[in-house]
């Protein structure tokens, strides 16, 4: 995470834009009607342009909503005006706009992480939220957009660690 935080803002924005553009051109994005993505923290790849593309394409967009320790649900984001700054300075959906989406209805989940490996392994950010949520999203493609330095040959995984289907980086896709 220190390496991620060290990426200059203009470089982070350039890489974010390139990865979003790459992903928007995929069949996965085109075929997905309901997409869940994360609300970016400052050192993560920035997804505002991805949100805008979802709205423009009339996709249903959802973001995580924490409902308990280690537990989250998908809450629909109808537009940018429905968002406000929440806990830990992360965007959330304003209470008046909260509409939850069942995990089984989601076609694609954009998953954050610290590192990803060639077999779909993911090192999360420490709460187990996605490890608990992803197995419930049985119909969704699990996707990561990552800096090249986040890709590794293998990660030490445990049986409860949820895997992802694809990782998109500047250098390629695994």
Does residue 48 form part of some domain?
A: yes
Per-residue pLDDT at 93: 96
Per-residue pLDDT averaged across 6-17, rounded? 91
Residue 1 has pLDDT above 90, yes or no: no
Could you tell me which residue, 2 or 70, shows the higher pLDDT?
Answer: 70
Parent domain of 89? 2-168
Does residue 155 form part of some domain?
A: yes
Unique residue bearing structure tokens 């890709």: 151
83: domain CATH number?
3.40.50.10420
Q: Residue 143 and residue 159: Cα distance in Å, rounded?
A: 20
Give every CB contact of residue 129 below 8 A, 6+ residues apart in sequence: 64, 66, 70, 71, 72
Does residue 146 form part of some domain?
A: yes
Does residue 173 form part of some domain?
A: no
Q: Domain total for the chain?
A: 1
Does residue 40 form part of some domain?
A: yes
Does residue 55 form part of some domain?
A: yes
60-112 pLDDT per residue, tens: 999 999 998 889 999 999 999 999 998 778 899 999 999 999 999 999 999 99
Does residue 13 form part of some domain?
A: yes
Residue 174 has pLDDT above 60, yes or no: no
106-148 pLDDT per residue, tens: 999 999 999 999 899 999 888 899 999 999 999 999 999 999 9
Q: Do the Cβ atoms of 29 and 108 come closer than 8 Å?
A: yes
Task: Considering only CA atoms, give the Rg of the chain.
Answer: 15
Query: Measured between alpha carbons, how far is residue 33 from residues 24, 59, 93, 139 in Å?
Result: 13, 5, 20, 12
Does residue 163 form part of some domain?
A: yes
Residue 164 per-residue DSSP state: -
């Amino acid at each position: 995470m220190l390496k991620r935080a060290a990426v200059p803002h203009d470089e982070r924005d350039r890489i974010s834009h390139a990865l979003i553009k790459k992903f928007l051109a995929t069949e996965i994005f085109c075929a997905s009607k309901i997409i869940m993505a994360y609300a970016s923290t400052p050192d993560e790849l920035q997804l505002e342009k991805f949100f805008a593309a979802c709205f423009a394409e009339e996709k249903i967009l959802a973001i995580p909503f924490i409902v308990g320790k280690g537990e989250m649900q998908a809450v629909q984001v109808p537009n940018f005006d429905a968002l406000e700054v929440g806990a830990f300075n992360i965007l959330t959906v304003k209470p008046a706009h909260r509409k939850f989406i069942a995990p089984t209805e989601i076609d694609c989940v954009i998953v954050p992480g610290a590192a990803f490996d060639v077999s779909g392994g993911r090192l999360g950010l420490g709460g187990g939220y996605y490890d608990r949520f992803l197995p419930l999203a049985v119909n969704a493609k699990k996707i990561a957009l990552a800096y090249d330095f986040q890709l590794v040959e293998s990660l030490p995984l445990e049986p409860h660690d949820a895997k992802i289907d694809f990782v998109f980086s500047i250098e390629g896709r695994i």
